[in-house]
Amino acid sequence: MDWQVLTRELSLYLESQVRVGFFGSGVGLSLVLGFGVAYACYYLNSIAKKPQLVASNDRFCRFLEEYCPVVTETYYPTIWCWEGRVQTLLRPFITSRPQVQYRNELIKTADGGQISLDWFDNNESSYYPDASTRPTVLLLPGLTGTSKESYILHMIHQSETLGYRCVVFNNRGIAGEELLTPRTYCAANTEDLEAVIHHVHSLYPSAPFMAAGVSMGGMLLLNYLGKTGRDTPLMAAAIFSAGWNVFESVESLEKPLNWLLFNYYLTTCLQSSISRHRQMLEKLFDMDLVMKARTVREFDKQFTSVMFGYRSIDDYYEDASPCRKLKSVGIPVLCLNSVDDVFSPAHAIPVETAKQNANVALVLTSCGGHIGFLEGIWPRKCTYMDRVFKQFVQAMFEHGNKIFSM
């Protein structure tokens, strides 16, 4: 179809309807219909697109095409809110919150701290009635997220329909538990994640085991995989909306509009997450100075980088950037990003590095924002991200042995 010709014909049609309308009737309806057709043409030509699948391993690509076909299908973002910032802002308010009954567990850490895990055991699973071999998905929420986030609830709902068990790793001090030591969490330090993975695997050593991380949870998971290579009980991982290069992420978030919409609010969330632990933390930090931060960078400079012993914030951001560890990932990993995500700018997505690792596949959509990926006229239920998650975990649990034999 020649879109230029169609656009020109629509323009001529609208002009003729306006001239007629001044002296006749029906101009309003004609204009609405004409605009609707023009908008639909623009949407179908410029907005709705197939994602870019980046992978150096042809067998991995064929595996995804057969068992996770959503990554090769056209993504139709919600027609009235396809822009990245709008998707990011609206998702928490639009998407439903499936009811999930958790079983909480507190585990101790080597330094005397504690970590809160929320389990969805799925004991009613008819596909996997034996709990010892029931596939398990470890879920890692975003920067200040917990097991209550809507995207986590949707992942659990998708897993429930497949018969899988889920466990949510809540970062220290976030999910209502007390801090027993003056330490929280960061994207670079993987010690708590290592402890959680070891604990879950020790409980169910015969159960297939995967992990999925969202935003900072995805960054932490990637940094863990880059550190461990193949020496992990995880068989595969899914990553959603990860910030690949922290320097580029914070620079993007410090642009005036992004600061107003996201950065300032995120900073206040970080401050709120530690304020109730003030009595414990003020032993080591100038909490008044931390609470004056107005950007994520300022918070990290005064708090996060200091807590984890970095000489400077640049040292911390370099260590926290998963793009520097992607070459070392030793298990199959599927990473979903939108190129209009202001938290992870398109130019910072490590496309060339991903092509150098046969275990890595990137799925890049043209729209979707940060953990948005809304689709449908009224996107209350399933998002594109949810569908990618469901198909990929099912593909790996049920057909993962075929990934390198195709």
Neighbour count for residue 76 (Cβ, 10 Å):
16
Q: Report the alpha-carbon distance of residue 292 to residue 39 in Å, rounded.
A: 45
Inter-residue contact 354 to 328 (CB < 8 Å): no
Q: What is the DSSP string of 356-389?
A: T-TTEEEEEESS-TTTT--BSSS-SS--HHHHHH
Q: Report the alpha-carbon distance of residue 340 to residue 366 in Å, rounded.
A: 7
Closest residue by Cα to residue 239 from 293, 281, 187, 280: 187
Whether 277 is catalytic is no
Phi, psi of 124 (to 5 degrees): -90, 5
Catalytic residue among 30, 215, 321, 338: 215
Inter-residue contact 81 to 90 (CB < 8 Å): yes
Paired tokens of 399: 């057909």
Catalytic residue among 118, 321, 370, 386: 370
Paired tokens of 40: 């639909």
Paired tokens of 232: 């992990």
Q: Report the alpha-carbon distance of residue 165 to residue 128 in Å, rounded.
A: 9
Q: Report the alpha-carbon distance of residue 291 to residue 274 in Å, rounded.
A: 10
Q: In the sheet where 333-338 sits, what is the strand order?
A: 52-55, 360-365, 333-338, 236-240, 209-214, 136-140, 165-170, 114-120, 103-108
Q: What is the DSSP string of 262-274?
A: IIHHHHHHHHHHH
Q: Report the alpha-carbon distance of residue 76 to residue 50 in Å, rounded.
A: 9
Catalytic residue among 300, 319, 341, 386: 341
Cα 306 to the center of its chain, rounded Å: 26
Whether 273 is catalytic is no
Per-position b or e across 258-282, b if 16+ CB within 10 A of its CB? bbebbbbebbbebbebbeebeebbe
Residues 6+ apart with CB under 8 A from 321: 219, 243, 244, 245, 246, 247
Whether 157 is catalytic is no
Kindly list the catalytic residues.
Answer: 215, 341, 370
